[in-house]
Amino acid sequence: MSQILALAAPAAVLCGWFLRSRFGITAVSWTAAVVSIGATFGAWAAGRWAESERWTGLVGMLELASLLVLVVLTLRAEGGWRGATAVWTIGGAVALWPSRFEDASGAVGALTLFGFGSVLALPAVLIGLYLRGLDEGRRRSVAAARRAQRLELAHDLHDFVAHDVSGMVAQAQAGTVLAAFDPVRAAALFERIEQAGLQALASLDRTVHLLRSEDEDGPERAPQPGLAELVELTERFTDSGDVMVRLDAPVEEPAVPREVAATAYRIVVEALTNVRRHAPAARAVDVRVRSEGRRLTVRVRDDGGGASPPSGSRRGGGGSGLAGLAARVEALGGTLTAGREGNGWQVAVTMPLKIG
């Protein structure tokens, strides 16, 4: 009889382990603890086990080890009252286990059982809580990384797609006027609208590809545009409308950290987009990029023609592009200022050439 009772709890643990995906580790732990307590009660009723029975003692030690492992797994997998109930039940089973061999009635026996259960269960509880804390910290880190990626993708959409779409809108407005008296120029304008639309679609495709990535470590991002791409950007902006962009950027790309170069490019994109949106009468924009000592300076200034913006760091009615870029510049150790300069509007940025 003692051998059958000794195998009851290990058999329950073994069966429950194969069914854990269906019922959960907490249910397995609770069931194993109840079976163990039932085996203890059975030993009381059938007669205490003799300490000389090595086989039942060896199986009993295996039972205790299995119960303590279940404590660790339960605390790691689930908190709340369900996990606490399962752990308390296992603790009771572990504390009652020695009473299978000798009577533990009375105050001294009860304290002995409590001490035995506490000594065995406490390390398992601490290990389970520690592993749970590690898992929660890892989940928070992954969630923070994914949030940062989503914000980065949102900035990509704002910086690049909005720039192309705003250019398409400006050219379409001009095209409706030219189509009436200059079809040739209107046709060329519509070709540029098509090119801008294809570029916007390409940016959307890249962003959607990144969003669909299932890699836990984050999607592999394509190289971000830097200072070398400013020439193409400003030429495309000039071709898309009546605003002449004058670029003065003699800085060599290898001398500038990748993060600083990408941020400088984004600043110029946002500033030119704001010129198109808020300064329709502007006819010239100066883009100046300089390496001064250990800092990179970027200045974008238009010659005016837009409505007076409200107080603040950006023009009204256009989203939060400069506000997001200001946070990015500050994270790199730089500063961003935006405001009236003469008859126009100026965005000025300084960033260190050495990060960290």
Give the per-residue pLDDT at 162: 65
Lowest mean pLDDT among 28-42, 131-145, 173-187, 301-315: 301-315
Number of neighbours of residue 196 by Cβ within 10 angstroms: 23
Q: Quote helix, strand, coil % in the chain, to nearest 5.
A: 70, 10, 20
Rounded mean pLDDT, 123-151: 81
Lowest mean pLDDT among 12-26, 122-136, 340-354: 12-26
| Phi-psi map region of 218: left, alpha, beta (phi>0 left; psi -120 to 50 alpha) | left
Q: Give me the residue spans of the domains in the chain.
A: 2-103, 227-356
User: If pLDDT is split at 50, 70 and 90, which confidence band does 319 have?
Assistant: very low
Give the per-residue pLDDT at 36: 79
* CA distance to 281, 310, 321, per residue, from 159 (Å): 22, 22, 7
Give the per-residue pLDDT at 210: 61
Give the per-residue pLDDT at 173: 66
Rounded mean pLDDT, 73-93: 82
Tell whether the model's pLDDT for residue 270 goes beyond 90.
no
Domain covering 227-356 assigned CATH 3.30.70.120 in the classification: no
Give the per-residue pLDDT at 311: 39
Give the per-residue pLDDT at 336: 92
